[in-house]
Amino acid sequence: MARVHVFDHPLIQHKLTILRDRRTGPKEFRELVNEIAMLMAYEMTRDLPTEEVEVETPIAVARSRVLAGRKLGLIPILRAGLGMVEGMLRLIPAAKVGHIGVYRDPATLEPVEYYVKLPPDLPERDLFLLDPMLATGGSAVWAVDAVKRRGGTHVRFVSLIAAPEGIRRLTDAHPDVDVYVAAVDERLDEHGYIVPGLGDAGDRLFGTK
């Protein structure tokens, strides 16, 4: 069964509050999304395996640890997921980055694909799908399907704000995919927006509204 992790770290919660504020403009919004993504990456990577190696310091040989597990991959869901990439890459610079282009049709709320480009060695990587908003879950389920169809096996989903409906739909469809969020909000409104949420993440990141 999928595990749902809600990050209640005070720094994440503080930054999320500023992000939600309707007065926060695109420059600060972008900075905050990246900072929260970086803090979430730090928390999320706690379980990565390490192994002991020897390293020569200027004084002596030390036994110390390095990452030893599978290679990593970040897959932002366009557009809004792009806002999380830089912050996560700061902590895990060796990760490869794939892209999934999908938008939610505003009338039907169904996902519409427009671009997919993923690293060829997907089966060998631990994959982190990134999207700030998990609303109905339609885009998330579609994106995980797309990654699995191309051979991805170890997938996690990372989001800033989720609606209970989206978490349910994603974990029902993909019980093997753990979900990491900074907040679970109350509900969806009649247009499929998260309440209270933060509005349209893509528009707020890129200033398109």
Ligand X SMILES: O=c1cc[nH]c(=O)[nH]1
- Applying CB under 6 A, does 200 fall inside the site for ligand X? yes
189 is an active site residue: no
Enumerate residues 6+ apart whose C-beta is below 8 A from 64: 52, 53, 54, 55
Among ligand X, ligand PRP, Mg ion, none, the one that 171 touches (CB under a kind-dependent 5 to 8 A) is none
Nearer to ligand PRP, 79 or 90 (CB): 79
Q: Smallest distance, Å, CB 119 to ligand PRP? A: 21
Residue ranges that bind ligand PRP, judged by CB under 6 A: 77-80, 103-104, 109, 111, 131-140, 166, 192, 200-202
Q: What is the maximum alpha-carbon separation in the chain?
A: 66
Q: How many other CB atoms sit within 10 Å of the CB of residue 135?
A: 26
16, 133, 140, 155: residue in contact with ligand X (rule CB under 6 A): 133
119 annotated among ligand-binding-site residues: no
178 is an active site residue: no
**Distance (Å, rounded) from C-alpha 45 to C-alpha 178?**
13
Contact 100, 76 (CB under 8 A): yes
111, 181, 202, 205: residue in contact with Mg ion (rule CB under 5 A): 202
137 annotated among ligand-binding-site residues: yes
Which runs of consecutive H residues, i.e. helices, occur in the chain?
A: 10-20, 26-44, 85-91, 138-149, 164-173, 201-206
Residue tagged 């599978």 (tokens):
70
H/E stretch holding 115 reads: strand 111-117
131 annotated among ligand-binding-site residues: yes
Nearest residue to ligand PRP on Cβ basis: 202
Among ligand X, ligand PRP, Mg ion, none, the one that 166 touches (CB under a kind-dependent 5 to 8 A) is ligand PRP
From first CA to last CA, the distance across the chain in angstroms is 39
**Distance (Å, rounded) from C-alpha 44 to C-alpha 195?**
26
- Applying CB under 6 A, does 197 fall inside the site for ligand X? yes
Residue tagged 């900075």 (tokens):
31
Contact 157, 180 (CB under 8 A): yes
Q: Smallest distance, Å, CB 203 to ligand PRP? A: 6
Applying CB under 6 A, the site for ligand X has a residue count of 10
Catalytic residue set: 104, 108, 200, 203
Site of interaction with ligand X (CB under 6 A): 80, 133, 135, 192-194, 197, 200-202
